[in-house]
Structure 1
Amino acid sequence: MPKPAAKSSAEKGVDKKFIEEVRELLQEKKESLLIKLNQWEDTSSPSGLKEMGDIADIASELNSEALTSVLTENEIETLREIELALEKIENGTYGICEGTKKKIPIARLKAIPWTRFTVEFAEQMAKSRNRAGGYRVDTLSAYPTTGMDVDSLD
């Protein structure tokens, strides 16, 4: 027996006007992140370290670059999530939880427009990963991490 097609965002009750507002917001956020990441790439060269006088200055600069690198990784992940949300808008599945197939509340979509999960499902995922140990739960990435050390993927 054929499986019924998934309901689109509009069929699930996500307002078309809201979807258009979210699309604009996501596009703006995407552009902003791309500009920020490009600026970071332009200024992140360690070539300036040679010109620094003492080891404390070099250590401070390297610490700053490490922090920037972590922030940049988070921004790259956010950019990926934004691109996924834009794809979902295009294919009519925006606002539908990937885990439960239920409607994500508008309040959550307004707070985190690129979210792919209801709060309840995201919490379940975090608990499962915490129980499994050693897995990153900060991004709830689209990429499965079960059975692998995600820190070694860099």
Structure 2
Amino acid sequence: MEEEQLQEIRNNLLKMREELLTEADKSYEASQSLGKDGVPDIGDMSSNSYNQEVLMNLSEAQRGRVRDIDAALERIDQGVYGLCARCEEEISPRRMEVRPFSRYCVDCKSEVEKFGE
């Protein structure tokens, strides 16, 4: 992959990372404010508790995505970006375009999901 392409990918990954961190902050702030707008009844408390849990789980998913992006940035630095971490073959350009933080080619990803790593 050419240096110019890698720089564009790096910039896109950094932008994705920043957007995810902003979303995570907003989700966290929203979860902290739930139920603090007066005296809730038991239904409100149950609903607020559920909503808070959903928002916290969303933040965990976002944190996982940030870790994936950080790993992709590290692979760029190491010169192995776009190579499957399992079979070391090139990951299809289309897959990398859709999911630029992919660690595995489609075949290896299926195997990892089936049997674990």
Q: TM-score, normalised by structure 1?
A: 0.69
Match 1:84 to one of 68, 71, 87: 71
- Which whole-Å CA distance do the structure 1 matches of 2:77 and 2:47 have between them? 45
- Which whole-Å CA distance do the structure 2 matches of 1:53 and 1:70 have between them? 23
Q: Tell me, what secondary structure is at the counterpart of 2:35?
A: helix
Superposition RMSD in Å = 1.8
Corresponding letter in the other structure for 1:87: E
Corresponding letter in the other structure for 1:17: E
> Where in structure 2 are the equivalents of 1:19-30 lying within 5 Å?
19-30=6-17
Shift of 1:15: 3.2
> Where in structure 2 are the equivalents of 1:126-141 lying within 5 Å?
126-129=113-116
**Structure 1 stretches of 5 or more lacking a match?**
1-13, 130-143, 145-154
Corresponding letter in the other structure for 1:94: Y
Equivalent position of 2:92 in the other structure: 105
Shift of 1:67: 1.3
Q: Given the alignment of the two structures, is residue 51 of structure 1 paired with residue 38 of structure 2, yes or no?
A: yes
**Structure 2 stretches of 5 or more lacking a match?**
none
Q: Tell me, what secondary structure is at the counterpart of 1:113?
A: coil
Shift of 1:107: 0.4
Corresponding letter in the other structure for 1:37: A
Whether the aligned pair in 1 keeps the contact of 2:85 and 2:104 (CA below 8 Å) is yes
- Which whole-Å CA distance do the structure 2 matches of 1:19 and 1:126 have between them? 28
Shift of 1:50: 7.6
Whether the aligned pair in 2 keeps the contact of 1:98 and 1:117 (CA below 8 Å) is yes
- Which whole-Å CA distance do the structure 2 matches of 1:39 and 1:58 have between them? 21
Whether the aligned pair in 2 keeps the contact of 1:52 and 1:58 (CA below 8 Å) is no
Aligned residues: 117
Q: TM-score, normalised by structure 2?
A: 0.89
Greater per-residue helix proportion: 2
Deviations 1:45-102 (A, max 9, x none): 2673583321111111111111112211111100000001011111111111110111
- After TM superposition, where is structure 1 displaced by more than 6 Å over at least 4 residues in a row? none
Whether the aligned pair in 2 keeps the contact of 1:100 and 1:121 (CA below 8 Å) is yes
After alignment, is 51-60 or 118-127 more displaced?
51-60
Equivalent position of 1:33 in the other structure: 20
